[in-house]
Structure 1
Amino acid sequence: MDRDARLRKAVLWLKKKDPKLKQIIEKVGPCTLEMMGKPYPVLLRAVISQQLSGKAAATMEARVKEYYGNGKKFPDPKILSALSVPKLRKAGLSVAKSETLKRIANAYLDGTISDHKLSKLNDQEVLDLLCSLKGVGPWTAEMVLMFSLDRWDHFSLNDLILRKAIQRNYGIHENSKKEILEFTAEFSPYRTILSWYLWRDHGPWM
């Protein structure tokens, strides 16, 4: 079964699972979940996006690519590792984010992390490895899991939009993380697809 067929099967399963979610799915339409790219660029993009509006993050991402990449792609690990923090700051990045990007580049250079290695790890191992880098938090690691590695059974408790969506649609308070986790477990093995619909119901995001 190809990916599109599996996606349709997942959506059908979710519609049968919950009447409220069925309404959201029918409102949003077919699931067009696509991967954003390989883990390395998605990881860099997620770091840049931390605690920023989509517009601000897109501006900084474009600057990094324009100044230090080829205009369309992020600089490769060797180039990124050699860039000074003041140089990265010129793209609008904070000192902390600049240092984190350099740590990621160094981790790729020394083999601590590789796209191939990440693809072979289970979900928790991916999160643990990425979060071992200072500046890479759970949300950032989860975005790689969901939007680069194509893992379909993850719900990001660290994403405020998702927690607000659960509160709005199901009445579970956004800060009741344990209850949210227990509730969303019912949608396994398609929690990423659930998340995609909740994001899309909120508005343009991914």
Structure 2
Amino acid sequence: MDDSSFGQAVQDLVSRDADLARIVREHGRPVLWTRPPGFPALVLFILEQQVSLASAAAAYSRLAESLGGMSPEAIATSTSEDLRASGVSRQKDRYLRALSAAVLDGTLDLESLAELPDDEVRRALVALPGIGPWTADVYLLACLGRPDLWPIGDRALQVAAAEALGLAAVPDPASLTALGERWRPLRSTAARLLWHGYLSRRGRVETRPELLA
């Protein structure tokens, strides 16, 4: 997905969905949220698990600075104390080391993921400790630009859908799956619109992709 196809997808969705159109009317059209594919992006997604975007971005910045860059080699040769000083929990320390080891020994070929179907990308990623369906889905959506991803385990997306659709309760993953059917085959764009409304209402912004440069 590029800016042109994203713009067309937004236009298509808002022309036929009043709830998504309201988000654009109230908060403007979002920019295309992407992240460069590769190891740094997966590190950031792991750090974002169950914490705010701002907290994860701060931890990532501290860690990259302390290691002199973000690479599997840098993580593998660091100490647990190095990671803890940057705000990385013991559990995420284990996840980052498992990811680094898989990349270094060839178990995970990050470059080849772009050529694989969605389900095969998921299988390759969730085979690693600490990478579940949410991490795999947002990597597919944000890094590989797949057009019809719907991260049902994303709490912000659940809340965003409830707010945008005026639901009485925040949908669980099963309910969010059903809700997402109305936006096939453009669910990645629908998710971006819902996240845009969610963040705008709270005065927050997406993490800038420049952080991973």
- Structure 1-normalised TM-score? 0.89
Deviation per residue, 1:136-183 (Å, 9 max, x gap) = 122222221111111121111111111112222322742443232122
Residues 73-112 of structure 1 aligned to structure 2 (within 5 Å): 74=70, 76-112=71-107
For the 8 Å contact 1:199–1:205, the answer to whether it is kept is no
- Any stretches of 5+ residues in structure 2 without a counterpart? 207-213
Residues 115-130 of structure 1 aligned to structure 2 (within 5 Å): 115-130=110-125
CA distance in 2, matches of 1:178, 1:88: 36
CA distance in 1, matches of 2:155, 2:3: 29
2:25 equivalent in structure 1 = 26
Number of corresponding residues? 201
CA distance in 1, matches of 2:168, 2:107: 39
Deviation per residue, 1:100-158 (Å, 9 max, x gap) = 11111111111121222211111122122111111112222222111111112111111
Residue 38 (1) aligns with residue 45 (2) = no
CA distance in 2, matches of 1:196, 1:53: 17
Deviation per residue, 1:39-82 (Å, 9 max, x gap) = 31110001111111223212211111110034xxx1x2122212
Q: Which amino acid aligns with 2:131?
A: V
CA distance in 2, matches of 1:84, 1:8: 45
- 1:116 to 1:140, Cα distance in 2 relative to 1, 3 A: same
Residues 136-155 of structure 1 aligned to structure 2 (within 5 Å): 136-155=131-150
For the 8 Å contact 1:28–1:197, the answer to whether it is kept is no
Residue 191 (1) aligns with residue 187 (2) = yes
More moved, 144-153 vs 167-176:
167-176
CA distance in 1, matches of 2:86, 2:120: 32
- 1:62 to 1:186, Cα distance in 2 relative to 1, 3 A: same
CA distance in 2, matches of 1:24, 1:31: 10
Residue 32 of structure 1: CA displacement?
Answer: 1.1
- Any stretches of 5+ residues in structure 1 without a counterpart? none
RMSD: 1.8
Provide the identity percentage: 27
Higher RCO, 1 vs 2 (CA within 8 Å, ≥6 residues apart): 2
- 1:161 to 1:34, Cα distance in 2 relative to 1, 3 A: closer
For the 8 Å contact 2:13–2:183, the answer to whether it is kept is yes
For the 8 Å contact 1:172–1:180, the answer to whether it is kept is no
